[in-house]
Amino acid sequence: MKRCFVAFEVPKATTSQLALTGSPPNGARFVAPDQMHITLHFLGAHSADNVHNAIKDIRATAFTVVMPHTGVFNTPRASVIWAKVDGGDSLIALHRELGSLLGPIGFEPEKRPYSPHLTLARCTPEMSEHTHKEVARQFQPAECVVDQLGVFVSEFQDGVPIYTRVETIILPPS
C-alpha cells in the first residue's frame, strides 16, 4: 500500500555532505542520499492528486534551514538517528499553513509538536548508541534552501521504504 506525505527534498550538494559513508554496523542501515527529505506532514492513505490540489496555492516563500547536530529517536522496535532541522519561524509557519490547507481533505495533524529532522540511519535499539557515536563523528553541520515542496508516496520494497516524488510545488523567493 502506498502512503502519501508532503516534504522537501534535501539538495544533492547537501546530501553528499550529510550522507553516511562506509559500511553501517550490523543492525544499522544508512539512508541513501537520493531518499533524504524532511517530512512536513505524513498523510497515510490519501490520494497524491488530492493532496497536491489542496496545497498548490500555498503562500509560503523560500527560506533556509540549518542542520546543526544529530540526535536519536528510540522506540522499543527501532531507533532513528537524525540531523536536527532548524528553519526558524518560516519552517513552523509552513508546517502550520500546510496543516490548514490539508484539513478540507480530511487530514488531521498530529497532536504532538512538530519535530523537523532528517533521518540519517535506522537501526535496532541496541545499536543506536554505537551507531549514533559513529554518525556524530562523521557529521558536519549543513544548510540548504527550501524552494520547493513535494508530494511523495512511500512504499516498502524488500522491507525498505522507497520514497517517490509525484508532484512539485515551487516556492517563490522571499
Task: Give catalytic residues, as residue numbers.
Answer: 37, 117
Q: Cα–Cα distance between 118 and 39 in angstroms, integer?
A: 8
Going along 23-102, which residue ranges are E strands? Answer: 28-30, 37-44, 63-67, 70-74, 79-84
CA atoms within 13 A on the CB side of 19: 16
Pairing label, strands 70-74, 28-30: unpaired
Residue 27 φ/ψ region, left for φ over 0, alpha for ψ in the -120 to 50 degree band, beta for the rest: left
Q: Grid cell 481533505 — which residue?
A: 105
